[in-house]
Amino acid sequence: METTRLSAIAKDHLSKIREHFDQRPKLTAAAKSYRRILAHYYNLLIPPSASVLEVGCGTGELLRLIGATERVGIDLSAEQIALARQQVSGAEFYVQTGETVTFPDRTFDYILISETTNLAADVQEMFQRLRSVAHGGTRLIINSYSSLWRPLIWLATQFGLRSKQPESSWLTKADLNALLHLSDWELIRSESRIICPVELFGMETILNRFLAPILWPFCFCIFCVARTRGTCKKLTRTVSVVIPARNEAGNIEAAVTRTPTMGEWTELIFVEGNSKDETWREIQRVNASYPDRRIKILQQSGKGKGNAVREGFAVAEGEILMILDADLTMPPEELPKFYEAIVNNRCEFANGSRLVYPMDKQAMPFLNLCANKTFSILFTWLLGQPIKDTLCGTKVLSRENYERIVINRAYFGNFDPFGDFDLLFGASKLDLKIMDIPIRYKERVYGQTNIQRWKHGWLLLQMLLFAAAKLKFV
């Protein structure tokens, strides 16, 4: 086993850890039930089609319960790995440490570190080494104990509910974040889970599902999700801008003349939606008048912006997909900011934010502004990432990530008439890095808003509750 980069002190620590686990300490009944609870949350994060590597897998009890297609476990104890091979079918197990992991020409979609960070000899070296088995879309998921539970964990060990452990660290969330940053990983989100870490005749399900999201500071377990940090290999991409248009005849030509060409080429896709004015005729006229621009036009088959966006994306050919509202209150000139954020891998989902810069006086009524700020707080809690403006219509992501959202759409179902939340919730479910892009919000110059404040506000609240049941209270 190659350990040349490790100090003598680190090697000595690993030897003690190996000696401890080579004695084959069996998992207690409480430890097994805890892993069953952990597996429930891991299976919410990991798609069944994924490849998974678990670092510090022990006897493979957690990996056995993970529903991924490809499962690989590593542990420094040969005795633990021997037990894992006996007990877990359909998985691979190898004697390796996280600090020295080696899989030539092989990468994994998800890397799991369950409680192992506190036992590692050099956490920074482990994180750096794990980059060698990660690709651009790999997610590193770490779960560790909350320091608040340290006295209770000590008591559980004294009473035999938990096996005695070798000397270990107690890394906080801030410690992990700093070590990830030093190792060129970027923390996407962290959340506290599990307020009852053992099975209690079904009561643990009720407590963990309904009480833990509310009493999150007191939860037993902290989950951190990170991605590799770096720039994309291809720095010039093709772009499709989908423009849903309903009763926007006066804005169509401006959308063409004001939208800049980005990347190798930029196509504009107008999706007309049951307008009562001359919007469709104007779209046809503008399409004929600008033969030098890549323009596609269609009339949506259903109703609502969500349907228009999905049908526009279905015919899009670009590598980067954008939504631009036809009212042009989000200036098209700002779109290159979104393009640069995606191309340079600053984020994987760029979300427009109207609530940073001063806006035109008539751009947003006061009650709408209050509602936006309220939803911002609620959605930040719900998604585990800071979201300042959930209702801005401009959202940008790669075609590859959009197709992943489509594949996983069945988890939420067809619940969103606006289209924005279908994308936001789907991105959160896949642990995409979401980032707000501040824009200067302008007044309308033509037509009236299609938003009905009270009706749509009630719909938004319903969607929030629906998503909470799917993302938090699970």
For residue 112, with 0-12 CB atoms within 10 Å meaning exposed, 13-18 middle and 19 or more buried, which class applies? buried
For 408-419, what is the mean pLDDT?
78
Domain assignment of residue 408, yes or no: yes
206 and 344, same domain (yes or no): no
331 and 356, same domain (yes or no): yes
173 and 122, same domain (yes or no): yes
Cα 262 to Cα 333: distance, rounded to the nearest angstrom: 11
Q: What's the pLDDT score for residue 270?
A: 98
Q: What's the pLDDT score for residue 278?
A: 95
Q: Out of 91-95, 156-160, 170-174, give the one with best mean pLDDT.
A: 91-95
Look up the CATH number of the domain holding residue 295: 3.90.550.10
For 143-171, what is the mean pLDDT?
85
Out of 14-18, 228-232, 463-467, 469-473, least confident range = 228-232
For 128-132, what is the mean pLDDT?
96
288 and 386, same domain (yes or no): yes
* Token code pair at residue 67: 């529903």
Q: What's the pLDDT score for residue 1?
A: 40
Q: Which residues are CB-neighbours of 364 under 8 A, at least 6 positions away?
A: 354, 372, 441
Ordered alpha helix ranges (H), 70-172: 78-87, 123-130, 150-158
Per DSSP bridges, beta strands 185-193 and 221-228 are antiparallel
Q: Is the model more confident about 354 or about 214?
A: 214
Domain assignment of residue 318, yes or no: yes
Q: Is the model more confident about 369 or about 246?
A: 246
Domain assignment of residue 3, yes or no: no
Domain assignment of residue 2, yes or no: no
**What is the extent of the structural domain holding 256?**
239-471
Residue 76 has pLDDT above 60, yes or no: yes
Cα 246 to Cα 285: distance, rounded to the nearest angstrom: 16
Q: What is the DSSP string of 248-282?
A: -GGGHHHHHHHSPP-SS-EEEEEEE-S-SSSHHHH
Q: What is the DSSP string of 352-377?
A: EESSSS---TTTS-HHHHHHHHHHHH
Longest dimension (CA), the chain: 80
Q: What's the pLDDT score for residue 231?
A: 58
pLDDT digits (tens, 9 = 90+) for 422-451: 899 999 999 999 999 999 888 876 666 655
Neighbour count for residue 206 (Cβ, 10 Å): 11
Residue where a domain stops, chosen among 228, 253, 274: 228
Domain assignment of residue 234, yes or no: no
Domain assignment of residue 1, yes or no: no
181 and 285, same domain (yes or no): no
The total number of structural domains in the chain stands at 2
Confidence of residue 3 (pLDDT cuts 50, 70, 90): very low
155 and 248, same domain (yes or no): no
Q: Considering the chain, what is the average pLDDT of its residues?
A: 90
Q: Is the model more confident about 455 or about 462?
A: 462
Alpha carbons within 13 A on the beta-carbon side of 403: 10
Q: What's the pLDDT score for residue 451?
A: 57
Look up the CATH number of the domain holding residue 141: 3.40.50.150
Out of 209-218, 237-246, 446-455, least confident range = 446-455
For 206-224, what is the mean pLDDT?
95
Residue 455 has pLDDT above 70, yes or no: no
pTM attached to this predicted model:
0.88
Q: Which residues are CB-neighbours of 157 under 8 A, at least 6 positions away?
A: 163, 164, 165
243 and 224, same domain (yes or no): no
CA distance readout (Å), 158 to 148, 152, 244, 452: 18, 10, 63, 61
Single out the residue of 140, 141, 158, 142 nearest to residue 150, CA to CA. 158
For 148-153, what is the mean pLDDT?
88
pLDDT digits (tens, 9 = 90+) for 174-199: 999 999 999 999 999 999 999 999 99
For 204-224, what is the mean pLDDT?
95
CA distance readout (Å), 45 to 112, 314, 435, 473: 11, 26, 20, 14
For 80-108, what is the mean pLDDT?
95
In three state form, how does the secondary structure of 78-103 look? HHHHHHHHHHCCCCEEEECCHHHCCC
Cα 114 to Cα 116: distance, rounded to the nearest angstrom: 5
Domain assignment of residue 233, yes or no: no
Residue where a domain stops, chosen among 194, 228, 262: 228
Percent composition of the chain: helix, strand, coil (DSSP 3-state, to 5): 40, 20, 40
Out of 34-48, 123-137, 223-237, least confident range = 223-237
273 and 149, same domain (yes or no): no
pLDDT digits (tens, 9 = 90+) for 310-329: 999 999 999 999 999 999 99
Residue 55 has pLDDT above 60, yes or no: yes
279 and 200, same domain (yes or no): no
Q: What's the pLDDT score for residue 161?
A: 75
Q: What's the pLDDT score for residue 422?
A: 87
Give, as one character, the DSSP assignment of residue 216: G
Q: Out of 140-144, 153-157, 327-331, 368-372, give the one with best mean pLDDT.
A: 140-144
Q: Is the model more confident about 163 or about 139?
A: 139
pLDDT digits (tens, 9 = 90+) for 359-396: 666 656 666 667 777 877 888 888 889 888 877 889 99
Number of H helices, E strands in the chain: 16, 14
Residue 279 has pLDDT above 50, yes or no: yes
364 and 403, same domain (yes or no): yes
Sign of the CA dihedral 187, 192, 197, 200?
negative
Q: What's the pLDDT score for residue 243?
A: 97
Q: What's the pLDDT score for residue 221?
A: 94
